């Protein structure tokens, strides 16, 4: 994810969302079950107060609404609104937009009456400025240009958006990525966005961030969508799932985002907790950013995905036989290109053709608990054919930095971009604007460019199928299994959107008790 969640989902996949393995701490003193006024008792018996405390999957290292690296989406979507938003099923509906219509490649959108937290109205100038800043950012702009080419002011409450594709994938971009900020306000040289966010129009306003990067937000009582029920929101850095589960059971926190499957069954047995299960657009996969084609092919055929599924999910998932998650493939591509990859003998034959340095120890980088377990299984599989790897577990933001610095060699992540099509995901991974650097052939890169130049999604179909088949030959990724995302929250809380577990976009101002 979400990549994302590069905490932008277009880079990280969220559903290429990334979970982080970080140290335990920061739970005490930020309890959703202690203190506050207006307390109530949830169905299961845990007291609910005016404070909602959440353990996120990423640290709040930055509040910069333009440069996504280091920004946690729980906090960002609380502070800044988008033009559109997700509903409970993951569909897109208007947010700051009131009404819109599309004619060909031109979308005309009228803004609702909404104010920033300082009381100034949200206008077309703010929308155009937010787009201009994002388009100018070297990490975000090139990807945005695959979907949107321009945003222009028509009048104070109307904007004209020029889109590239003849489908509605632009809706996802406007729900996911473009945070609306006041016209002329963005100045990263004069402001430290690591310590203080910009003004937004969201349901919450910033209060503080401590040394552990625990963020405290206060309700925006004049929010256009209505004053939030929870008057204080506390967003904590990620911890391991067992610690998170204990914190939930003790009432110290009210929600854990994307809890590891190992803790979910225990949570299901607790009457004080609700478990949300959402079929994600993501697929757990190994990305291989080093080596020649024979080396990558050897890895592709050496990995026992059934063993990984048994170890990591307890057999709950199914080994992948397609390159992207079934939910992302949709009706047009599901079942069109399939494979049975695991073949240790073939893996050894492929490795014998490789000119990659086999005396080197390569690193598999994981950024969540499930990923680390997958990596350990893969380490054994690759050792069996003569490839030495070590497993590295890092937090989300370190993973992001390594990706941007091009220092990742192999990585485990659940990649997939919610609401986007197969062709756009191929462009995201392998196109010339991609932040990934898979060592694919020039011929495959040329096909991706050719695909992207075809304006009709329907007319791209055959070339997309050809590219999916090319991926079996060049093996830049090894699909492991489709992911199901789980959120766990305190019973008695209402308004929780199931899609948040898959999109990693939360609207905390909509929660009630």
User: Is the same domain home to 172 and 310?
Assistant: no
In a domain, 183, yes or no: no
Residue given tokens 């995901």 in the structure block = 425
Q: Note whether residue 4 is domain-resident.
A: no
Same domain, 381 and 371: yes
* Three-class DSSP labels, 73-140: HHHHHHHCCCCEEECCCCCEEECCEEEEEEECCEEEEEECCCECCCCCECCHHHHHHHHHHHHHCCCC
What span, in angstroms and rounded, lies between the C-alpha atoms of 50 and 391?
A: 42
Parallel, antiparallel, or unpaired: how do β-strands 273-288 and 477-490 relate? Answer: antiparallel
pLDDT in tens, 107-126: 999 999 999 999 999 999 99
Report the percent of the chain where pLDDT is more than 70: 91
3 state SS of 333: helix
SS3 content of the chain, % helix, strand, coil (to 5): 30, 20, 45
pLDDT tens digit sequence for 95-107 = 999 999 999 889 9
Q: What pLDDT shows up at residue 418?
A: 65
Q: Is the pLDDT of residue 247 over 90?
A: yes
Q: Is 411 inside any structural domain?
A: yes
| Same-domain status, 21 and 114 | no
The one-character DSSP state at 319 is B
CA distance 98 to 225: 12
**394: confidence class by pLDDT, cuts 50, 70, 90:** very high
Q: How confident is the model at residue 419 (pLDDT cuts 50, 70, 90)?
A: low
Give the residue numbers spanning the domain of 394: 280-483
Could you give the number of structural domains in the chain?
A: 3
> Domain holding 370: CATH number?
3.10.105.10
Asked whether residue 352 is domain-assigned, the answer is yes
Give residue 6's pLDDT.
32
pLDDT above 90: residue 432: no
Structure tokens at 147: 């979907």
Q: Say if CB 15 and CB 503 are below 8 A apart.
A: yes
Q: Note the pLDDT of residue 16.
A: 31
pLDDT, residue 168, reads 82
Distance of CA 427 to the CA centre of its chain: 17
The CATH number of residue 143's host domain is: 3.90.76.10
Would you state the pLDDT for residue 191?
Answer: 94
φ, ψ of residue 347 to 5 degrees: the values are -60, -45
Question: For residue 17, is it within any domain?
Answer: yes
* Lookup: tokens for 58: 């990423």
Q: Residue 348: pLDDT above 60?
A: yes
Residues 249 and 83: their CA atoms lie apart, in Å, by 36
Same domain, 453 and 325: yes
Does residue 500 contact residue 14 with C-beta atoms inside 8 Å?
A: no
- 78 alpha carbon, distance to own chain's centre: 16
Same domain membership, residue 479 and residue 465: yes
In this structure, of 27-31, 149-153, 208-212, the range with the lowest mean pLDDT score is: 27-31
Nearest alpha-carbon partner for 250 in 68, 33, 473, 82 = 33
Give the integer Cα–Cα distance in Å for 43 and 493. 9
Examine the domain organization and report whether 303 and 154 are in the same domain. Answer: no
**Average pLDDT of the chain?**
88
In terms of domains, do 384 and 313 share one?
yes
Q: At which residue do the structure tokens 């110290």 appear? A: 252
CATH of the domain at 26: 3.40.190.10
Strands (E), 358-431: 361-366, 388-393, 410-415
pLDDT tens, residue by residue, 184-223 = 999 999 999 999 999 999 999 999 999 999 999 999 999 9
Q: Taking 50 as the threshold, does the pLDDT of residue 25 lie above it?
A: no
Q: Left if phi > 0, otherwise alpha if psi is -120 to 50, otherwise beta: which for 226?
A: left
- Strand, helix or coil for residue 353: helix
Return the bridge partners of 55, or none.
236, 256
Same domain? For 333 and 468 the reply is: yes
**How far apart (Å, rounded) are the C-alpha atoms in residues 317 and 371?**
14
Are 329 and 441 in a shared domain? yes
Q: Give the Cα separation of 244 and 211 in Å (integer).
A: 20
Pick 41 or 465 by higher pLDDT. 465
- Examine the domain organization and report whether 137 and 165 are in the same domain: yes
Scan for tokens 């203190």, then name that residue.
Answer: 35
Instruction: Give backbone dihedrals phi and psi of 294, rounded to 5 degrees, phi first.
Output: -65, -40
Q: Which of 258, 306, 300, 283 is nearest to 57 (CA)?
A: 258
The model's confidence at residue 318, banded by pLDDT at 50, 70 and 90, is very high
Q: Are residues 454 and 386 in the same domain?
A: yes
Same domain, yes or no: 260 and 288:
no
Q: Is residue 193 part of a domain?
A: no
Which helix (H) or strand (E) segment is 55 a member of?
Answer: strand 51-55
Confirm whether 454 is domain-assigned. Answer: yes
Is 2 contained in some domain?
no
This prediction has a pTM of: 0.78
């Amino acid at each position: 994810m979400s990549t994302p969640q590069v905490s932008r989902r277009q880079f990280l996949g969220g559903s290429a969302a990334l979970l982080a393995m970080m140290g335990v701490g920061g739970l005490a003193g930020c309890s959703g079950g202690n203190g506050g006024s207006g307390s109530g008792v949830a169905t299961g018996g845990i007291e609910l107060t005016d404070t909602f405390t959440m353990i996120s999957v990423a640290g709040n290292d930055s509040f910069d609404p333009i440069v996504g690296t280091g920004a946690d989406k729980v906090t960002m979507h609380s502070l800044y609104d988008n033009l559109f938003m997700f509903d409970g099923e993951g569909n897109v509906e208007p947010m700051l937009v009131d009404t819109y219509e599309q004619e060909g490649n031109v979308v005309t959108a009228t803004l609702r009456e909404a104010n920033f937290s300082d009381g100034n109205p949200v206008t077309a100038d703010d929308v155009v400025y937010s787009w201009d800043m994002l388009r100018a950012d070297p990490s975000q702009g090139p990807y945005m240009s695959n979907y949107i080419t321009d945003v222009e002011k028509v009048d104070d409450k109307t904007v004209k958006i020029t889109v590239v594709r003849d489908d509605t994938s632009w809706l996802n971009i406007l729900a996911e990525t473009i945070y609306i900020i006041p016209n002329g306000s963005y100045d990263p040289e004069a402001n430290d966005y690591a310590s203080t966010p910009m003004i937004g129009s969201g349901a919450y306003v910033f209060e503080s961030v401590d040394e552990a990067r625990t963020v405290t937000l206060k309700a925006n009582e004049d929010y256009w969508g209505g004053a939030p029920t929870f008057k204080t929101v506390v967003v904590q850095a990620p911890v391991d799932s067992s610690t998170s589960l204990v914190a939930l059971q003790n009432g110290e926190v009210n929600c854990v985002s994307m809890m590891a499957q190992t803790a979910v069954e225990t949570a299901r047995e607790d009457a004080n907790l609700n478990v949300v299960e959402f079929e994600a657009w993501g697929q757990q996969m190994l990305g291989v950013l080093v080596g020649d084609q024979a080396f990558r092919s050897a890895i592709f055929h050496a990995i026992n995905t059934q063993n990984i599924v048994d170890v990591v999910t307890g057999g709950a998932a199914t080994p992948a036989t397609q390159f992207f998650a079934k939910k992302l493939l949709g009706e047009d591509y599901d079942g069109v290109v399939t494979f049975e990859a695991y073949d240790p003998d073939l893996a050894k034959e492929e490795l014998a053709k490789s000119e990659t340095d086999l005396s080197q120890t390569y690193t598999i980088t994981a950024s969540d608990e499930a990923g680390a377990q997958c990596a350990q299984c893969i380490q054994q599989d690759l050792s069996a054919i003569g490839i030495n790897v070590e497993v590295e577990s890092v937090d989300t933001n370190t993973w992001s930095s390594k990706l941007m610095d091009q220092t990742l060699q192999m990585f485990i992540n659940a990649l997939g971009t919610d609401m986007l099509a197969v062709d756009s995901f191929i462009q995201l991974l392998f196109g010339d604007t991609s932040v990934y650097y898979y060592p694919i052939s020039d011929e495959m890169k040329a096909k991706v460019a050719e695909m992207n130049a075809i304006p009709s999604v329907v007319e791209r179909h055959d070339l997309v199928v050809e590219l999916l088949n090319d991926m079996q030959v060049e093996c830049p990724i090894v699909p492991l299994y489709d992911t199901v995302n789980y959120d766990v929250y305190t019973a008695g809380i209402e308004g929780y959107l199931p899609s948040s577990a898959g999109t990693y976009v939360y609207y905390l101002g909509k929660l009630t008790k």
